[in-house]
Amino acid sequence: MTMLSVPVRESDHIYGDASARVTLVEYGDYECEYCGLAYPIIRQVQDHFGKRLRFVFRNFPLTEIHPLAEGAAEIAEFAGAHGKFWEMHDQLYANQSELGMPLYLAIAESLDLPEQGLRAALADERFAPKIKDDFLGGVRSGVNGTPAFYINQRRHDASYDYEVLCSAIDTQLGAER
Amino acid sequence: MSQILAPGTSAPAFTLHSAPEQTLSLGDFRGKPVILAFYPADWSPVCGDQMALYNQVRPEFQKHGAELLGVSVDGVWCHQAFAKQSHLHFPLLADFEPKGAVARTFGAYQESAGVCERALFVIDGNGVIFWSFCSPMAVNPGADGILDALERLPK
């Protein structure tokens, strides 16, 4: 059984309440098309479970095959530093085929994020250490590709179809009753 | 699943093509740990490709002075195209002729499918297998087992 080696912590991007009975952690890459396919499914799963589920997103950019993934992750982290991680996360996946500076600037403007600050953060690679930290934690947790999911610390090796994910989460809810 | 060679066994010597005009031998790496990753085929269709992952984790392997070698029954030209497309920075060895001969010596050949198992070996600087692991064909084993083994290697 492959387990999450880095517990959910304050520096994570967490959607939902700490009291939620199930935690779903995703290791993802903004340029990975499979992560793009999983994105709307996760939203559906979140809607379905509401407060019973909290969702955590960690970066796992495979930059050698996805040259835009690191930049996109840094943009998401920049937005996160301004309290708008999920807004940016949503927009990046919704516009996955257009990743690049023009898209980042357009989203930043719509979210009221400072353009100069954004450019400076990218130039300084300010968020690169955090992303690397996510990546290495993922490697130690047995992430074997993206997206990789962990449900209450356990790697979810089955598919990430809506029904399969819901059923796996239901099992956890049952287990914790 | 095949019975792969266990820790404590001397790794069988081999020489395989890493490029059309180039061969590599296990003995070339004496004195440093070698990660030998047998895998079924180039061109796995998913982002979860094992070689792409190891390529990305390679700097962590290098912190332990370890060399990474991928092995499958694909030919050199196939390996070359695959490595180029995935920007791989480590050698892929062609266990091509006689097909799977090296994989067989490690117990890492699956006769029925005619391909290498997903079998991992961490070989120490003296050429002795320190850790080995065989994953079900459909499951990318990730890199955590390799890193754990490298950390446990006596310095």
Decide if pLDDT at B106 tops 70.
yes
Q: What is the CATH number of domain B37-152?
A: 3.40.30.10
Decide if pLDDT at B48 tops 90.
no
B75 in contact with A, Cβ within 8 Å: no
Quote ipTM for the complex: 0.89
Residues belonging to chain A: 177
Sorted by where each begins, the domain ranges of chain B are 37-152
- Sort B77 into a burial class: Cβ within 10 Å, 0-12 / 13-18 / 19+: exposed
The catalytically annotated residue of B47, B78, B116, B134 is B47
Tens-digit pLDDT profile for residues A89-106 = 999 999 999 999 999 999
Confidence of residue A1 (pLDDT cuts 50, 70, 90): confident
Distance from C-alpha of A26 to C-alpha of A134, rounded to nearest angstrom? 11
Classify residue A119: in a domain, yes or no: yes
Decide if pLDDT at B120 tops 80.
yes
Measured between beta carbons, which residues in chain A are less than 8 angstroms from residue B53?
Answer: 62, 143-145
Looking at residue B46, its pLDDT comes to: 60
User: What average pLDDT score do residues A114-126 get?
Assistant: 97
Mean residue pLDDT of chain B comes to 95
Query: How distant, in Å, are the alpha carbons of A79, B15, B104, B115 from that of B73?
Result: 46, 14, 11, 6
Classify residue A94: in a domain, yes or no: yes
User: What average pLDDT score do residues B93-106 get?
Assistant: 98
Decide if pLDDT at A177 tops 60.
no
User: What average pLDDT score do residues B109-126 get?
Assistant: 96
User: Does the active-site annotation cover B47?
Assistant: yes
User: What average pLDDT score do residues A32-36 get?
Assistant: 96
User: What average pLDDT score do residues B133-146 get?
Assistant: 93
Query: Chain B closest CA to A128's CA: distance in Å?
Result: 15
Classify residue A33: in a domain, yes or no: yes
Confidence of residue B44 (pLDDT cuts 50, 70, 90): confident
Classify residue A11: in a domain, yes or no: no
Which pairs from A117-121 meet CB under 8 Å and 24+ separation? A117/A78, A118/A75, A118/A78, A121/A74, A121/A78, A121/A81
Whether residue A114 is preceded by a cis peptide bond, meaning omega within 30 degrees of 0, is no
CATH number of the CATH domain containing A124: 3.40.30.10
Tens-digit pLDDT profile for residues A137-176 = 999 999 999 999 999 999 999 999 999 999 999 999 987 6
Looking at residue B54, its pLDDT comes to: 96
Beta pairing partners, B24: B16
Classify residue A138: in a domain, yes or no: yes
pTM of the full predicted structure?
A: 0.93
Looking at residue B155, its pLDDT comes to: 78
As for how many domains chain A has, the answer is: 1
Decide if pLDDT at B76 tops 80.
yes
Looking at residue B138, its pLDDT comes to: 85
Share of chain A above pLDDT 70, in %: 99
Classify residue A101: in a domain, yes or no: yes
CB-nearest partner of B142 from A35, A63, A144: A144
- From the candidates A4, A32, A59, A62, which should be mutated to test the interface with B, based on the most B CB atoms within 10 A? A62
**Closest residue of B to A3, CA-based?**
B144
Secondary-structure percent of chain B, ordered helix, strand, coil, rounded to 5: 25, 25, 45
What range does the domain containing A80 cover?
26-175
Decide if pLDDT at B47 tops 60.
no
Confidence of residue B114 (pLDDT cuts 50, 70, 90): very high
Looking at residue B49, its pLDDT comes to: 84
- Sort B72 into a burial class: Cβ within 10 Å, 0-12 / 13-18 / 19+: buried
